[in-house]
Structure 1
Amino acid sequence: MSLIVKRSLVYQAVEQLRERIAQGAWAIGQRLPTEPELALELGISRNTVREAMRVLAFSGLVEIRQGDGSYLRTVQDPLQAVLALSRCSLEHAREARHILEAEAIGLAAQRCTEADLVQLRAALVQSGEHFHGDLQAYLEADMVFHQRLVDAAHNPALSELYRYFSGMVRAAVEQNMQHAPGCQATFDLHGQIVEALAQHDPALAKRLTRALIES
């Protein structure tokens, strides 16, 4: 019973803090009040405040900096975006990939560095080792590869968006591979995309990415 009560108090604290964030109590990047200050203001214990802040940090609303305090990262709760993505159909995910992933990789073809290419080739080797083997191991490695492709665009906003979206990408790839054996020609598209980046050819990179999404 005491555990249920504790969870209830933490939930109430989280909701109060979310409401204040939505109302503009603090600006993005601003340091939030300390745990004792929030505990006094909300009429709860410091431990409850600490647990509530951990929940908000996990959802991406705040950033906890050890020894410095907690800072507001965004006023839009990323957790709600993740929940919305989880309800998307695979067709919606495919459409979103064309807009987000293909365009991001087009940018990556313009901006990628030699260090990016080294990391991409290493990730490709890792995923290739599992392509005809363990599906879950392949999916883990493939998601690392795709995230590095987007990261090569050197746009933090796109990278962060793709991290939230990658769960839907994984679900789509998993469904395709469960219904049909891994096609080598499909896997080869990954390497061709990397080479398009190495040639700094955005049009080719986007064309190959769209072919991969439709495969």
Structure 2
Amino acid sequence: MQPVRRTSLIAQVTEQLRAEIRSGRWAVGSRIPTEPELTELTGTGRNTVREAVQALVHAGMLERRQGSGTYVISTSTLGGTLTEYFADAQQRDVLELRQALDTTAARLAASRRDDSDIENLRRLLGERTRLWDTDFDAAIEADVQLHRAIVVASHNAVYLEFYDSLLPVIAAGIRFRSAREGETYHDEHADLVQAVIDGDPDRAARTANCFLDSLMAEYRTLDTNFG
């Protein structure tokens, strides 16, 4: 058995890391600081940090990736369970679910977005566009976070929790299609963001739906040609 004091310290650090995830400061899909960085940030030893991180890996909130680091995959233990389920889902099923989720999220976001949401949407759209031809991985990350930011702007915590559980498979689909097809969809993303910023729920929902319709059409083409 470990001394109570040490166990308590691990629990405290685990809760600190969990708070960073739940607050959105460490977004789903992002890489968390390294062990040495976490040791410095928390003022604790490396073994304490390692065990705290491992606790959240077991909880389904973090994922270790060999040679890359540790990434946030969910904002809750429930989300981790859903993430595991969605990992084996068919891409067609994911796109059909996204069509419902993204369309409704866009409508809600256009009605509820605040100044902070608008600033975040503009920043992510700019990053996505700027990085597309120079840093593909960073551009994909900005793309994923842009779609998540629209859900954030809906100000519906339950919606965000569910969407976050789907985010890893959404990211994988975006990466696959972008690498294979070479489509940028800059105009479509810009139109969607502008509709949300303008506070036009109908236009935001219509734009999101049209965008997902085009992705579904391309999926059917790929499925026919390569399935």
Give the TM-score, by structure 2 length. 0.60
Residue 204 of structure 2 corresponds to which residue in structure 1? Answer: 205
Contact 2:82 2:166 in 1 (8 A): no
Cα distance in 1 between the residues matched to 2:53 and 2:160: 27
1:59 and 2:60 matched: yes
Cα distance in 1 between the residues matched to 2:137 and 2:212: 19
Residue 93 of structure 2 aligns with an amino acid whose one-letter code is H
| 1:194 CA displacement | 1.5
Contact 1:131 1:182 in 2 (8 A): no
Residue 140 of structure 2 corresponds to which residue in structure 1? Answer: 139
Cα distance in 2 between the residues matched to 1:144 and 1:106: 18
Q: 1:115 to 1:179 in 2, by over 3 A?
A: same
Contact 1:132 1:182 in 2 (8 A): no
Contact 2:112 2:154 in 1 (8 A): yes
* Percent of aligned positions that are identical: 23
- Residue-pair matches, total: 152
Q: 1:78 to 1:149 in 2, by over 3 A?
A: closer
Residue 59 of structure 1 aligns with an amino acid whose one-letter code is G
Residue 207 of structure 1 aligns with an amino acid whose one-letter code is R
Provide structure 2 residue ranges, at least 5 long, that are not aligned to the other structure: 1-47, 62-74, 215-227
Residue 129 of structure 1 aligns with an amino acid whose one-letter code is R
| 1:211 CA displacement | 2.1
Q: 1:15-94 alignment to 2 at 5 Å?
A: 54-55=55-56, 58-59=59-60, 77-94=78-95
Give the TM-score, by structure 1 length. 0.63
Task: Supply the RMSD in Å over aligned alpha carbons.
Answer: 2.5
Cα distance in 2 between the residues matched to 1:78 and 1:158: 11
Contact 1:109 1:199 in 2 (8 A): yes
Residue 194 of structure 1 corresponds to which residue in structure 2? Answer: 193
- 4+ long deviations beyond 3 Å: 50-53, 55-58
Residue 99 of structure 1 corresponds to which residue in structure 2? Answer: 100
Cα distance in 2 between the residues matched to 1:104 and 1:120: 14
| 1:56 CA displacement | 7.7
Residue 168 of structure 1 corresponds to which residue in structure 2? Answer: 169
| 1:52 CA displacement | 11
Partner-residue secondary structure (3-state), 1:200 = coil
| 1:51 CA displacement | 7.1
Contact 2:148 2:163 in 1 (8 A): yes
